[in-house]
Amino acid sequence: MVIADMQIRPGEAWEYCPRYVLRKVTKVLLDEFNVTMKAGFENEFYLRRKLVSEGHERWVPYDNSSYCSTSSFDGASSILQEVYSSLKAANIVVEQLHAEAGKGQFEVALKYVLCTLAADNLIYAREIIKSVARKHGLIATFLPKPDLNDIGSGSHVHLSLWKNDQNVFMGSNEYSHYGMSNVGEQFLAGVYHHLPSILAFTAPHPNSYDRIQPNTWSGAYLCWGKENREAPLRTACPPGVPLDMVSNFEIKSFDGCANPHLGLAAIVAAGIDGLRKGLKLPEPIESNPADYATKLKRLPQDLLESVESLAADKTLHELIGDKLITAVIAVRKAEIDHYSKNPGAFGDLIHRY
């Protein structure tokens, strides 16, 4: 498998190419602010096995164990070991691998790298995980909500800003706003401001919004918080980072239906807007956002709301390109129409995603 650029002719990029779009906005970030962005994705997915009963085929959970269960990990060890070895052979570093909270759900967290490479690596990782599962007679699905009665799957992404090999998202003794640098706060404020529009890229399917619900660690309200796993934007203080600092931020509202290049491009574009305008963040939410439901704005509750936000977002039109935004909106509206008229089509999505 080889990931390639789409070009009109050699040396002339096709303006709809997702890889080109991500490179285009990261070049703006570098040229204007001398900053690059690194990204690390957490891949949540379900393993399912085929069960045939009375001539009917169903795909059922691989097991019914609980979060971080050793028995669940052991039961899938041959699959997970092969996934790990295959990713390693592709020079993709796995930082964490464990059983998740859903029935037959697992997570593979990848090491953060330059965001253009991270997007490529995510595509390879999804394909490798699916291929290994298929080899073992299973399917691996990254669908955000394959079972409305179980936990959803995300593709959470951790993001940091770098200049001359130094993490410049993190605050310092000279300046720290809730552990962030001035650059970090302004960038995150841009993402916060444009998040409803960004969701049209990072949560791009009608099924995505079955996952983005209160009290499900998916970020349903427009807010941010330090180590708040119910917020869509979480600043993180991992081991080794001083407790009064943060090294990166996580976006919860990113799932396995998203094109990672376009999703990251939208995030970078929003961050650039925050840096250009010197935007500031509101005060953080340190507890469950649902407790502040009367004060906080809900993020889009369906794909149409996200699409409408994107259509009105002049900044993303400018930085990403009118033609691509127009095409994205058309595709999203077509999928909204298709799945509203064909509810049975949702059953096939575990095979597509």
Task: Give tens-digit pLDDT for 222-274.
Answer: 999 999 999 999 999 998 999 999 999 999 999 999 999 999 999 999 999 99
Gap between the Cα atoms of 5 and 19, Å rounded? 7
* Residues paired with 249 in a beta bridge: 159, 235
Instruction: Please say whether the dihedral angle defined by the alpha carbons of residues 173, 176, 182 and 183, taken in this order, is positive or negative.
Output: positive
Sequence spans of domains, the chain: 7-350
For 178, the token pair is 């809730």
Q: How far apart are CA 336 and CA 333, in angstroms?
A: 5
Cα-only R_g, the chain? 20
Please state, rounded to an integer, the average pLDDT across all residues of the chain.
Answer: 95
Report d(CA 24, CA 262) in Å as an integer: 11
Nearest to 22 by CA among 154, 142, 117: 117
What is the reported pLDDT for 66?
A: 79
Instruction: Return the CATH number of the domain spanning residue range 7-350.
Output: 3.30.590.10
Length of the chain: 353
Residue 68 has pLDDT above 80, yes or no: no
Structure tokens at 302: 């369906």
Burial of 15 (0-12, 13-18, 19+ CB in 10 A): middle
Please check the confidence at residue 221 and state whether its pLDDT lies above 80.
Answer: yes
- Angle at 16 (CA atoms; ends 11, 19), nearest 5 degrees: 65
What is the CA 247 to chain-centroid distance, rounded? 18
Q: Residue 54: is its pLDDT beyond 90?
A: no
Predicted pLDDT at 71: 82
Query: Considering the chain, what percentage of its residues have pLDDT values greater than 90?
Result: 87
CA distance 256 to 252: 12
